[in-house]
Amino acid sequence: MNYKVGDTVVHWSYGLGEITNVEEKVIHGRLKQCYVVRASKMTIWIPIDDSQQHTLRTPVSPDEFTGLFDILSGPAQSLPQDRGLRRDFLMSQLQDGQLESICKVVRDLTNLKRKSKLNDQEKTILERASNSLLTEWIFSLKVPLNQAQLAMTRLLEG
């Protein structure tokens, strides 16, 4: 997908952002055209050819977003017992950049948190995924943060 300056996008790792410019940047010794994205109070450069590989996507529509509520309120998926394998599994889910995957990570880690103590990496993954979800929630559904947080909590209590 081709984006233009001013477009709102979602980066798989940094969440919601805005394309502020298109410029050339040397990456791995090669000059590449890049989207300049302002996300999470930082600026990142995304090579335009990489944006096609799940690095960037457009935010989901309100209808698509509310369709994902069933994931949050649904049954959690069983996660690997081994913490290293669990971390790798969760990170691989997040790397596809899709909101559906983010919802699954939030649901599954919230469920795990009810049963046992999360380690620091799991807490970080949950916080990052929750923040990404809430940021897009606010943007897509045009609601205040506290309303989105309350709705997410209620859905996760399912």
* CATH assignment of the domain containing 82: 1.20.58.1290
Residues in the chain: 158
Give me the domain span that covers residue 45: 8-57
Enter the pTM of the model. 0.88
Residue 102 lies in a domain: yes
Q: How many structural domains compose the chain?
A: 2
Each residue's pLDDT, cut to its tens digit, for the chain (158 residues) gives: 689 999 999 988 888 999 999 999 998 899 999 999 999 889 999 998 865 566 889 999 999 999 999 999 999 999 999 999 999 999 999 988 899 999 999 999 999 999 999 999 999 999 999 999 999 999 999 999 999 999 999 999 97
* CATH assignment of the domain containing 12: 2.40.10.170
CA distance 63 to 29: 43
Q: Are residues 93 and 52 in the same domain?
A: no
